[in-house]
Amino acid sequence: MAELALREALRRAMVEEMRRDDNVFLLGEEVAYYDGAYKVSQGMLAEFGDRRVIDTPIAENGFTGIAIGAAMAGLRPIVEVMTWNFSLVAFDQIINNAAKVYNMTAGQYRVPMVIRGPTGAAENLASQHSMSLEAIYAHFPGLKVVSIATPADAYGLLKSAIRDDDPVIFMESEMLYGFKGEVPDAETLIPLGKADWKRQGDDVTLVTWNKQVHTCLAAAQQLQDDHGISAGVLDLRTLRPLDEEALFGAVARTGRMVVVQEGYPFAGVGAEIAARVQEACFDALDAPVLRVTSRDVNQPYATNLEQLVMPSVQRVVDAARAVCHR
C-alpha cells in the first residue's frame, strides 16, 4: 500500500477516472492554472488540457448549472467548490435541477455528476467559511451525500461517486487535506451507502463522519485508558443513503450510542440518526442516544472561541460516560 495525503488520494481517483473515461472532466475556481485552491488538482491541467480541467469565473450558480447541462448531455462533470459554504450561491441549481431532473423527466435524463470540496470549520475562517451543510443536502431526495475522513475512503468513494449515475455531494475537510494514510495500490471502489468500523468496541458506539472521526478515535482511546470503557467508532462515510444495517447492528452490539457531528444541533443529521435508532431499536437501547454537536451559535473567528464551539474529545468522553452511567 502507498501512503498518500488525502489530497493526493482525491487526485489519484480523479486522474484514474479521467484516463478511464473521456466523458469525465473537472471544473471550478482555480482548478487548472493554479493547481487547485488546496492543490487537489495539481498537475492535472498538464495531463488533460484546458478542455477537461477548466478554470471558471467566481460564479458558482453559473458553472454548476453548466455542469448539470453537461451531465444531462452524457458527460460526467466533477465540480469543485472552494468551500461548501459557497455552494449556497448555487443552491437553486443543485436542488431544483440536479436533484430533480431524473424524476421530473420520468427517467429520460440522468445527472451523473460530483460536486466536491471542503466542508466545516478550518482555522480562523469565521462564520461564512465554516459551516457544515451535510444536513441541508441530505434533506433532499435525488442527491447522494458522502463525507470522508481518510485517504483510503477519499480514493475509493470518489471513484464510485464519479461512476454513479446520480448527483453526488462529496464533502471533504480542509483540515484533512494533508492527513496521510495507506491507500491500496490496486484500483479499489468503495460502494456508496456503506459505513465502516474505524474501531471496534463493546460498551458504546460513537457514530460520526468527516474529521470528527479523528476526534472520536482520540476519545475512544481516552475512554479505554482512563475509564475502562470500550468504545467503537462507526464512520458513516455516506449520509444519504444511510447505512441503517450498520447503525442498528451497532445498537444490538453495544446498547448505547453517541452521535458526533460538526453541524448545528437543530434538525441535524444526528437528530435523524437518533430518531431512526430509537424508533427501530428501542428495546435494544440501554440509554438514550446522545448527540455531541457544534454549539448552536455562528462560528467565531478567535481560535479559543472556535475550539469552544466545536465538538471536542472531552465532550465526546463526557457523553459516552453518561450513556454508560459512569
Are 293 and 265 in contact by the 8 Å Cβ rule? The answer is yes
Are 240 and 144 in contact by the 8 Å Cβ rule? The answer is yes
In a domain, 84, yes or no: yes
Given 183, 206, 231, the domain boundary residue is 183
Between helices 6-20 and 151-163, what is the axis angle to 10°? 30
* 133 shares a domain with 10: yes
In a domain, 115, yes or no: yes
pLDDT tens string, the chain, 326 residues long: the values are 899 999 999 999 999 999 999 999 999 999 999 999 999 999 999 999 999 999 999 999 999 999 999 999 999 999 999 999 999 999 999 999 999 999 999 999 999 999 999 999 888 888 888 899 999 999 999 999 999 999 999 999 999 999 999 999 999 999 999 999 999 999 999 999 999 999 999 999 999 999 999 999 999 999 999 999 999 999 999 999 999 999 999 999 999 999 999 999 999 999 999 999 999 999 999 999 999 999 999 988 898 999 999 999 999 999 999 999 98
CATH number at 202 reads: 3.40.50.920
Residue appearing with cell numbers 487537489: 40
Displacement of CA 40 from its chain's centroid (Å): 16
Q: Which of 8, 17, 80, 129 is catalytic?
A: 129
pTM score of the predicted model = 0.96
* 313 shares a domain with 222: yes
Structural domain count of the chain = 2
Residue of 283, 294, 231, 286 lying closest to 260 (CA atoms): 294
Residue of 59, 86, 54 lying closest to 70 (CA atoms): 54
* 88 shares a domain with 24: yes
Give dist(CA 33, CA 47) in Å, integer. Answer: 12
Residue of 246, 249, 319, 325 lying closest to 289 (CA atoms): 319
Q: Which of 60, 172, 174, 306 is catalytic?
A: 60
Q: Is 60 a catalytic residue?
A: yes
* 211 shares a domain with 167: no
Q: Is 139 a catalytic residue?
A: no
CATH number at 50 reads: 3.40.50.970
Sign of CA dihedral 101, 102, 105, 111: positive
Given 183, 218, 248, the domain boundary residue is 183
* 301 shares a domain with 162: no
Instruction: Report strand pairing: 290-292 vs 53-55.
Output: unpaired
* 115 shares a domain with 69: yes
pLDDT for the residue 124: 82
* 165 shares a domain with 33: yes
Domain holding 49, by residue range, is 2-183
* 145 shares a domain with 20: yes
pLDDT for the residue 128: 85
* 205 shares a domain with 155: no
Task: Determine the length of the chain.
Answer: 326
